[in-house]
């Protein structure tokens, strides 16, 4: 911790303060992307089960029409981002670190961008909270801050756990990104109306809007929009990464600490992102499902960085072209530089959770060679969750995942602070991602084993039952045959010698 911070105990003791690179993109006015010719809408844009297509190839759809329905309790439906013809239902490269393929619906836009019938609500506060949750779910609204958890599922959770405070996350602590900043500046009234609807839906009495103090225009705009509502407070918070993480924002705003392995709702608060609130506003007041979002285009390789309003499913290459690429970007990142994912190429569609596309030039993309750990302890000081990254990583390196879990691996939010400060440039977060994935894979295989064992046991039981039934049936048939024979024999020639025979037959 620097001497400066020791004197001015203004910053929280955790986290890092990277150069934020938000300007000039954040100040450029919001632009709309011209409608792309083809949109690739993935079926899994949210946490939970993928949506299931309900349209056929060749079918004509209108903007906002349901094209894939939610499956299971935690899932979200997907709607057509524009009007046009379904030209394919197949696999495209997913915006996922694996670069694997994923099911998507391809729409050839007809250019008219005709909406389907929308059902706006004049007064959402006259509806039952359950109805708001239902409409939010039907509009496919998911957490737009990056977590992409279905919003309505969280509403129901908040109502059940009697949440008192809604925290509205306008932190946007990731460097380079400014889509939340832009939505607060340009659509503050929508955000405030949306968050009031969310408050009503979860039964919260107050709302705290946390905005990092490096966004003065957003704070001013939100203050104006929220002035009429006494229970909505706009609170500037220190700009410090990862302020936008739920647990850190809750602690900064309310002083409450969310226990390990607990959900925020269990301490009486619920967090929703500002863009999610705006999407809820649109879903209710205008009856519009989530079909577009604001995407930050930023990075050294772009000539016109800024924020773009783009339909879901737009290929990244179209966005890059619009933002003007100079040369070949050295790296493409979806999301922020700290927690975002590296895209394999630009023919990947954007999804609901895509807050930004970063095109880095060679200098920005430079990754220093990793060296040996010098046990400086910087990672431990930076970790916002109070973990010991070096201890965890050394155990994971030695394949001792249980040991790493014992050091609180499951609490790691993957924020990347540790790797950011590490003077040896050790890819600490990748160790943690690997270990978390591996542990859940083992858990899955255990469940699978249990299931197959049950199947095998059931099969043995079935075979035994079948053998028993077969034997019983054979015995019955035999008895019947014998009885018939005996009866026939008795009728024909009632000789006592004959009676012995069935017994000897039965014995064989």
Partner 1 sequence: MWLAIFSLTLLGTLLGLALGLAAKRFHVEASSIVAEIEALMPGSNCGQCGFAGCPRAAAAIADGSAPVTVCPPGGKALAQMLAARLGISIDLTSVADEGPQIAIVAEDICIGCCRCSKVCPTDAIVGAAKQIHNVIREACTGCGNCIDRCPTEALLLQPLPVTVQHWVWPKPATVVIALAV
Query: Minimum CB separation from ligand SF4 for residue 360, in Å?
Result: 21
Query: Minimum CB separation from ligand SF4 for residue 354, in Å?
Result: 22
- Across-strand partners of 311? 292
If binding is defined by CB under 8 A, does position 438 make contact with partner 1? yes
Q: Which of 35, 94, 192, 218 is in the footprint of partner 1 by CB under 8 A?
A: 94
If binding is defined by CB under 6 A, does position 339 make contact with ligand SF4? no
If binding is defined by CB under 8 A, does position 444 make contact with partner 1? yes
Q: Which of 179, 276, 355, 378 is in the footprint of ligand SF4 by CB under 6 A?
A: 378
Query: Minimum CB separation from ligand SF4 for residue 408, in Å?
Result: 9
Pairing of strands 232-237, 331-334: unpaired
Give the footprint of partner 1 on residues 405-434 (CB under 8 A).
Answer: 424, 426-427, 430-431, 433-434
CA distance 230 to 76: 33
CA distance 305 to 365: 17
CA distance 482 to 492: 15
Cite the DSSP H helix spans in 215-283. 216-226, 246-254, 274-281
b/e map 66-104, b = 16+ CB within 10 Å = bbbebeeeebbbbbbbbbbebbebeebbbbbeeeeebbb
Structural contact between residues 151 and 141, judged by C-beta atoms closer than 8 angstroms: yes
> What DSSP assignment string belongs to 327-350?
S--SEEEES-TTT-EE-SSS--B-
Query: Minimum CB separation from ligand SF4 for residue 375, in Å?
Result: 5
- Across-strand partners of 235? 210
Query: Minimum CB separation from partner 1 for residue 269, in Å?
Result: 30
Query: Minimum CB separation from partner 1 for residue 32, in Å?
Result: 30
What mask of x and - would describe binding to ligand SF4 in positions 389 to 428, judged by CB under 6 A?
xx---------------------xxxxxxx--xxxx-x-x
Distances (CA, A) of 411 to 113, 259, 327, 383, 440: 44, 10, 41, 11, 14
If binding is defined by CB under 8 A, does position 457 make contact with partner 1? yes
If binding is defined by CB under 6 A, does position 88 make contact with ligand SF4? no
Give the footprint of ligand SF4 on residues 259-288 (CB under 6 A).
Answer: none
CA distance 63 to 66: 9
If binding is defined by CB under 8 A, does position 100 make contact with partner 1? yes
Contact range with ligand SF4 by CB under 6 A, out of 133-141, 169-177, 344-352, 383-391: 383-391
Q: Which of 119, 262, 370, 473 is in the footprint of partner 1 by CB under 8 A?
A: 370
CA distance 236 to 211: 5
Structural contact between residues 425 and 366, judged by C-beta atoms closer than 8 angstroms: no
Query: Minimum CB separation from partner 1 for residue 336, in Å?
Result: 18
Contact range with ligand SF4 by CB under 6 A, out of 156-164, 228-236, 377-385, 459-467: 377-385
Q: Which of 393, 409, 412, 415 is in the footprint of partner 1 by CB under 8 A?
A: 393
At 32, is the secondary structure helix, strand, or coil?
strand
If binding is defined by CB under 6 A, does position 227 make contact with ligand SF4? no
If binding is defined by CB under 8 A, does position 372 make contact with partner 1? yes
CA distance 223 to 415: 29
Residues engaged in binding partner 1 (CB under 8 A): 44, 94, 96-98, 100, 102, 370-373, 375, 390, 393-394, 396-399, 402, 424, 426-427, 430-431, 433-434, 437-438, 441-442, 444-445, 448-449, 451-453, 455-459, 462
Residues engaged in binding ligand SF4 (CB under 6 A): 373-379, 382-385, 387, 389-390, 412-418, 421-424, 426, 428-429, 432
């Amino acid at each position: 911790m620097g001497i400066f911070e020791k004197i001015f105990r203004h910053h929280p003791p955790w986290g890092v303060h990277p150069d934020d690179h938000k300007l000039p993109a954040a100040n450029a006015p919001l632009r709309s992307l011209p409608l792309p010719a083809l949109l690739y809408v993935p079926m899994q844009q949210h946490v939970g089960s993928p949506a299931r297509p309900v349209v056929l190839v060749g079918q004509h759809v209108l903007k906002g029409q349901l094209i894939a329905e939610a499956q299971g309790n935690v899932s979200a439906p997907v709607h057509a981002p524009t009007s046009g013809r379904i030209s394919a239902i197949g696999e495209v490269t997913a915006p996922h670190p694996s670069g694997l393929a994923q099911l998507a619906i391809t729409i050839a836009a007809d250019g008219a961008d005709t909406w389907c019938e929308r059902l706006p609500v004049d007064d959402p506060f006259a509806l039952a909270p359950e109805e708001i949750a239902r409409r939010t779910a039907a509009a496919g609204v998911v957490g737009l801050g990056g977590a992409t958890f279905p919003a309505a599922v969280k509403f129901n959770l908040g109502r059940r756990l009697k949440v008192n405070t809604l925290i509205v996350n306008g932190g946007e602590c990731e460097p380079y990104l400014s889509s939340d900043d832009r939505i607060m500046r340009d659509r503050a009234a929508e955000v405030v109306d949306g968050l009031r609807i969310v408050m009503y839906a979860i039964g919260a009495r107050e709302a705290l809007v946390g905005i990092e103090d490096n966004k003065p225009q957003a704070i001013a705009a939100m203050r104006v929009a929220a002035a009429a509502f006494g229970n909505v407070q706009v609170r500037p918070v220190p700009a410090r990464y990862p302020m936008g993480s739920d647990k850190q924002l809750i602690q900064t705003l309310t002083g409450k600490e969310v226990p390990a392995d607990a959900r925020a709702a269990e301490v009486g608060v619920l967090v929703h992102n500002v863009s999610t609130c705006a999407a809820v506003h649109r879903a209710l007041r205008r009856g519009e499902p989530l079909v577009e979002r604001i995407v930050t285009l930023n990075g050294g390789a772009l000539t016109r960085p800024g924020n773009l309003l783009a339909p879901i499913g737009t290929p990244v290459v179209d966005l890059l072209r619009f933002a003007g690429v100079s040369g070949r970007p050295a790296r493409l990142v979806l999301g922020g530089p700290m927690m975002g994912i590296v895209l394999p190429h630009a023919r990947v569609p954007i999804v609901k959770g895509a807050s930004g596309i970063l095109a880095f030039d060679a200098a920005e993309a430079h990754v220093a060679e990793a060296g040996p750990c010098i046990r400086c302890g910087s990672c431990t000081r930076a970790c916002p969750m109070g973990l010991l990254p070096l201890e965890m990583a050394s155990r994971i390196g030695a394949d001792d995942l249980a040991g790493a879990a014992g050091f609180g691996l499951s609490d790691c939010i993957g924020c990347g602070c540790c790797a950011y400060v590490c003077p040896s440039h050790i890819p600490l977060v990748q160790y943690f991602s690997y270990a978390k994935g591996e542990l859940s894979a083992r858990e899955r295989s255990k469940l699978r084993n249990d299931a197959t064992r049950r199947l095998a046991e059931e099969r043995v039981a079935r075979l035994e039952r079948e053998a028993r039934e077969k034997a019983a049936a054979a015995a019955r048939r035999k008895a019947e045959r014998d009885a018939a024979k005996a009866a026939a024999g008795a009728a024909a020639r009632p000789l006592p010698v004959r009676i012995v025979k069935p017994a000897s037959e039965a014995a064989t």
